[in-house]
A and B are shown apart, each in its own frame.
Chain A
Amino acid sequence: MALTRAARAPWGEAAAAWMLSAPAVLAYVLMLALPTLATVLLAFTDFELGATGFRWIGLDNFAEMLSDRGFGISLRNTLIYVGLVTPGSIAGALALALLIEAGLRGRTLFRAVFFLPVVSLTVAMAAAWQYLLHPTIGPLNAMLRLAGLGAPEWLSSSSTVLVSLAAIGIWENLGFNLVLFLAGLTAIPRELYAAAEVDGARSAWDRFRLVTWPMLGPTTLFVLTITMIRAVRVFDTVAVLTQGGPNKASQVLLYTMYEEGFTYFRLGYSAAVTLVFLAIVLAIMWLQTKLLDKRVHYV
């Protein structure tokens, strides 16, 4: 009883709060704060795993990045990948969400079908895609040959590899975005459509343009941010299917970071690449808050 009363007193409450937070705070410091800080520091050293010591080399790692053709390609590929996956998976998801929402039949079924890739083991599905896209024995090219079209080497030619990976990326992200759009669509008050119709919005396109799209603004911004961040983080499919090849044509940031760090053990340089990756993620989030402040508030 005495303990109970103590817990109600402010100092007792504070003690209890710190006791309850202590495990999380400890894990936070050890597994998140210190390692993140260490990565930032590493980026300014020439630390290599197995080497006896390291030197502070200031911005040399970043200077090396600028002159490193491989890094330039990796950064460019990442941006192209994001540039393909983001609009592709957002437009696709929105179109399908509108189709699903337009009627009552098959909602649960189609939602489940499109969501399936989100819960599937990416590595395993990458293997399935490898078979599907195989230049000689793959079903896709078998169909193309049947239709009298050419048989591209999807994943093994440097001109198509990035597009192929982006297609897989769209396939992976679409269901996730679809579910978010469905939630956003359900939240639009039905009266708005009725009101728009009274005001002369007769066609489906008018209703979409005047009601759905503006009301969906916050959802779309959220989906945009999250898709971009997920796309910047592309790693699994590259690691399984192409290892950055052929001839660096599918080298992306996280894979470059992985290779430099864990294949060549150049931890300092790898940390610098990590920071570029982090900077891009932070920039996307910053952009989101900027846009959020500005425009997309309608309600």
Chain B
Amino acid sequence: MSEPRPPLLRDAPRLALLALAGVIMLMPYIWMVAASMKPLDEIFRASLSLWPERFFAIENYGKVFATIPVGRYLWNGLVVCGGILFFQLLFAVPAGYALAKLRFPGKDLVFGAVMLGLLVPPHVQALPLYVAFSQVGLLNSYTALIAPFTISVFAIFLFRQFFRSLPDDLIHAARLDGFSELAIVWRVVLPNAWPAATAFAIFSVVAHWNDLFWPLIVVNGTDYATPALGVLFFRSAEAGDDFGALMAAAVIMTAPLVIAFLLAQRRFVEGIATTGLKG
């Protein structure tokens, strides 16, 4: 509230309180990383020292890479998130444009359907989709992991809202220049909608990288397992008792998104806050 910085001393209690809360918040990370560098006997002694007496990181991380196909899981996560995002944008951006800027019979119906779709959590469709995918033999495939999420009513809604604020003159000018409606969408409207698109992209990737529910249903075996399933598989393969290696696996699978977050903190926070609607 005060414009000039208050002296550090007066600010100290506030910072101390926040730091305390921050340390509590980071507790799982701190202990996860610490345990991933300790040998099992040290972990079982339950000492409170964070730094390992015997540095065991190479063994723990090595064991993870030796027992599970880490690269495979991360690659699967990348393919699934990338595929989902690609189709979500491919389908939602043109539809959002049509709803925002074009007049057509049935528009209210389409928009009503979008609003209705916003009310339904994705878990509701799981049972019939599972039956359908198993009928056509598509369980354990990228298709099964990606297809259900290709439609994002939330993306349509978000893009519609954003496109509505674009000036009509921009679109009229493009039409006069001989652009087709499809060209307008991808070459005029979308380049002007990057804030909405990045925000949605971050929201979508975070949601699907972290999703466990749907992959757990349609995937068994390692070929198409996502990082979330990878941690789960490693845990059951190791009987869950080698905490050092388990923590190493957790660190590896958590790292990509956390690193991306630390590099682009602002965008992440704003992206998820503006798109938070869907939760």
Indicate which residue in B17, B26, B129, B279 contacts A99 across the interface (CB closer than 8 Å): B17
Contact with B along A257-268 (1 / 0, CB 8 A): 110011000010
* Nearest chain A residue, comparing its CB with the CB of B147: A31
User: Is A226 a contact partner of B279 (Cβ separation < 8 A)?
Assistant: yes
A176 in the interface, Cβ–Cβ < 8 Å? yes
User: Is B265 a contact partner of A20 (Cβ separation < 8 A)?
Assistant: no
Indicate which residue in B32, B48, B113 contacts A142 across the interface (CB closer than 8 Å): B48
Nearest Cβ on chain A to B3's Cβ, whole angstroms: 9
Residues A240 and B232 in contact in the complex (CB < 8 Å), given A24-B156, A119-B268, A278-B124: yes
User: Is B1 a contact partner of A190 (Cβ separation < 8 A)?
Assistant: yes
User: Is A20 a contact partner of B125 (Cβ separation < 8 A)?
Assistant: no
Give Cα A39–Cα B127 distance, bound, in whole angstroms: 7
Residues of A within 8 A of B97 (CB): 20
**Of B55-63, B175-183, B193-201, which binds chain A?**
B175-183
Count the A-B residue pairs with Cβ separation under 8 angstroms: how many? 302
Give Cα A49–Cα B127 distance, bound, in whole angstroms: 10
Residues A127 and B217 in contact in the complex (CB < 8 Å), given A31-B150, A116-B29, A121-B210: no
User: Is A36 a contact partner of B106 (Cβ separation < 8 A)?
Assistant: no
User: Is A119 a contact partner of B206 (Cβ separation < 8 A)?
Assistant: yes
Give Cα A233–Cα B269 distance, bound, in whole angstroms: 22
Give Cα A158–Cα B261 distance, bound, in whole angstroms: 36
User: Is A32 a contact partner of B125 (Cβ separation < 8 A)?
Assistant: yes
User: Is A274 a contact partner of B98 (Cβ separation < 8 A)?
Assistant: no
Nearest Cβ on chain A to B206's Cβ, whole angstroms: 6
Nearest Cβ on chain A to B101's Cβ, whole angstroms: 9
A38 in the interface, Cβ–Cβ < 8 Å? yes
Contact with A along B11-24 (1 / 0, CB 8 A): 10011011001100
Give Cα A174–Cα B24 distance, bound, in whole angstroms: 12
Residues of B within 8 A of A274 (CB): 123-124, 126-127
A221 in the interface, Cβ–Cβ < 8 Å? no
Give A245-262 interface residues, CB cut-off 8 Å to B: 254, 257-258, 261-262
User: Is A17 a contact partner of B147 (Cβ separation < 8 A)?
Assistant: no
B162 in the interface, Cβ–Cβ < 8 Å? no
User: Is A100 a contact partner of B253 (Cβ separation < 8 A)?
Assistant: no
Indicate which residue in A20, A32, A235, A271 contacts B181 across the interface (CB closer than 8 Å): A20
B75 in the interface, Cβ–Cβ < 8 Å? no
* Nearest chain A residue, comparing its CB with the CB of B256: A121
Give B200-221 interface residues, CB cut-off 8 Å to A: 206, 209-210, 212-213, 216-217
A7 in the interface, Cβ–Cβ < 8 Å? yes
Residues of A within 8 A of B181 (CB): 7, 16-17, 19-20
Residues of A within 8 A of B26 (CB): 113, 116
Nearest Cβ on chain B to A280's Cβ, whole angstroms: 10
Interface centre among B48, B102, B260 (most CB of A within 10 A): B102
Name the interface size band of chain A.
35 or more
Residues A17 and B213 in contact in the complex (CB < 8 Å), given A112-B262, A116-B25: no
Residues A146 and B48 in contact in the complex (CB < 8 Å), given A32-B125, A96-B18, A180-B273: yes
Nearest Cβ on chain A to B159's Cβ, whole angstroms: 10
Give Cα A114–Cα B180 distance, bound, in whole angstroms: 46
B247 in the interface, Cβ–Cβ < 8 Å? yes
User: Is B265 a contact partner of A108 (Cβ separation < 8 A)?
Assistant: yes
Residues of A within 8 A of B277 (CB): 226
User: Is A105 a contact partner of B5 (Cβ separation < 8 A)?
Assistant: yes
Residues A136 and B46 in contact in the complex (CB < 8 Å), given A108-B265, A119-B268: yes
* Nearest chain A residue, comparing its CB with the CB of B103: A13
User: Is A23 a contact partner of B90 (Cβ separation < 8 A)?
Assistant: yes
User: Is A20 a contact partner of B98 (Cβ separation < 8 A)?
Assistant: yes
A17-B104, A33-B113, A35-B127 are known; give 5 further A-B pairs, CB within 8 A.
A39-B124, A120-B258, A139-B27, A139-B48, A271-B127
Top 8 closest pairs, chain A to chain B, by CB: A35-B125, A38-B128, A24-B95, A124-B250, A17-B104, A27-B151, A20-B94, A14-B104
Contacts A/B (CB < 8 Å), 18 sampled: A18-B106, A23-B95, A28-B151, A39-B127, A105-B8, A111-B269, A122-B212, A123-B212, A125-B32, A125-B250, A127-B32, A127-B250, A137-B46, A142-B46, A180-B273, A190-B1, A236-B228, A270-B127
* Interface set of A (CB-CB < 8 Å, partner B): 1, 3-4, 7-8, 10, 13-14, 16-21, 23-25, 27-28, 31-36, 38-39, 42, 49, 96, 99-100, 102-106, 108, 110-125, 127-129, 131-132, 134, 136-139, 141-143, 146, 171, 174-176, 179-180, 183, 190, 193, 226, 229-230, 233, 235-236, 239-240, 254, 257-258, 261-262, 267, 270-271, 274, 277-278, 281-282, 285
* Interface set of B (CB-CB < 8 Å, partner A): 1, 5-6, 8, 11, 14-15, 17-18, 21-22, 25-29, 31-32, 35, 43-48, 87, 90-92, 94-95, 97-99, 102-107, 110, 113, 117, 119-121, 123-132, 134, 147-151, 153, 156, 175-176, 178-182, 185, 206, 209-210, 212-213, 216-217, 227-229, 231-232, 235, 243, 246-247, 249-251, 253-254, 257-258, 260-262, 265-266, 268-269, 272-273, 276-277, 279
